[in-house]
Structure 1
Amino acid sequence: MKQSGCYDISTNGVVAMVEPQSQKGQIQQIVYRILDANLDRAREGLRIIEEWCRFGLNNASMSGECKRLRQEVAIWHTNELRAARDTQGDPGTELSHAQEEERSSIKTLLQANFCRVQEALRVLEEYGKLYNSNMGKAFKQMRYQVYTLETNLMGYERQQMLMRSRLYLVTSPEEKILEVVEAALKGGLTLIQYRDKETDDTQRLKIAKQLRQLCYTHNALLIINDRVDLALAVDADGVHLGQQDMPIAIARQLLGPQRLIGRSTTNSQEMQQAIADGADYIGVGPVYETPTKAEKAATGLEYVRYAAKNSSVPWFAIGGIDTANINDVIEAGAYRVAVVRSLMQAEQPTLVTQYLLSQLNLAPSEPSQSHV
Structure 2
Amino acid sequence: MKCDKKDLLLYAVTDRHWLNGETLYSQVEKTLEGGTTFVQLREKELDEEKFLEEAKEIKELCRRYQVPFVINDNVDIALAMDADGVHVGQSDMEAGDVRAKLGPDKIIGVSAQTVEQALLAEKRGADYLGVGAVFHTDSKADAADVSHETLKAICDAVSIPVIAIGGISKENVSELAGTGICGIAVISAIFAQKDIKNATKELKLLTKEMVEA
TM-score, structure 1 as length reference: 0.54
CA–CA separation in structure 2 for the residues paired with 1:165 and 1:281? 9
RMSD of equivalent CA atoms: 1.7
Distance 1:364 1:171, change over 3 A: closer
Structure of higher RCO (CA pairs closer than 8 Å, 6+ residues apart)? 2
Question: Could you say what secondary structure the match of 2:16 adopts?
Answer: coil
* Larger helix proportion of the pair: 1
Q: What is the CA-CA distance between 1:331 and the residue it aligns to?
A: 4.3
* Larger strand proportion of the pair: 2
* Pairing of 1:94-173 with structure 2 (within 5 A): 155=1, 158-160=2-4, 162-173=5-16
Question: Could you say what secondary structure the match of 1:263 adopts?
Answer: strand
Residues 301 and 332, structure 1, Cα contact 8 Å, conserved in 2 = yes
1:284-311 CA deviation, whole Å, 9 max, x = no partner?
Answer: 1111121222123211322222233222
Greater Cα radius of gyration, structure 1 or 2 = 1
Question: Which consecutive aligned stretches of 4+ in structure 1 deviate over 6 angstroms post-superposition?
Answer: none
Question: Could you say what secondary structure the match of 1:360 adopts?
Answer: helix
Deviates more, 1:314-323 or 1:325-334: 325-334
Identity of aligned residues (%): 34
In structure 2, what residue type is equivalent to 1:327?
S
Q: 1:321 aligns with which of 149, 162, 168?
A: 168
Distance 1:310 1:365, change over 3 A: farther
1:194-244 CA deviation, whole Å, 9 max, x = no partner?
Answer: 011111112111111111111011111100011111112221100001101
Cross-structure match for 1:5: none
Cross-structure match for 1:265: 112
1:309-335 CA deviation, whole Å, 9 max, x = no partner?
Answer: 222101110000011100112344433
Q: How many residue pairs were aligned?
A: 209
CA–CA separation in structure 2 for the residues paired with 1:289 and 1:184? 23
* Pairing of 1:130-279 with structure 2 (within 5 A): 155=1, 158-160=2-4, 162-174=5-17, 175=19, 176-279=23-126
Structure 1 unmatched runs, 5+: 1-154, 367-372
Distance 1:365 1:310, change over 3 A: farther
Question: Could you say what secondary structure the match of 1:206 adopts?
Answer: helix
TM-score, structure 2 as length reference: 0.91
In structure 2, what residue type is equivalent to 1:322?
S
Residues 114 and 154, structure 2, Cα contact 8 Å, conserved in 1 = no
Residues 129 and 161, structure 2, Cα contact 8 Å, conserved in 1 = yes
Q: What is the CA-CA distance between 1:159 and the residue it aligns to?
A: 2.6
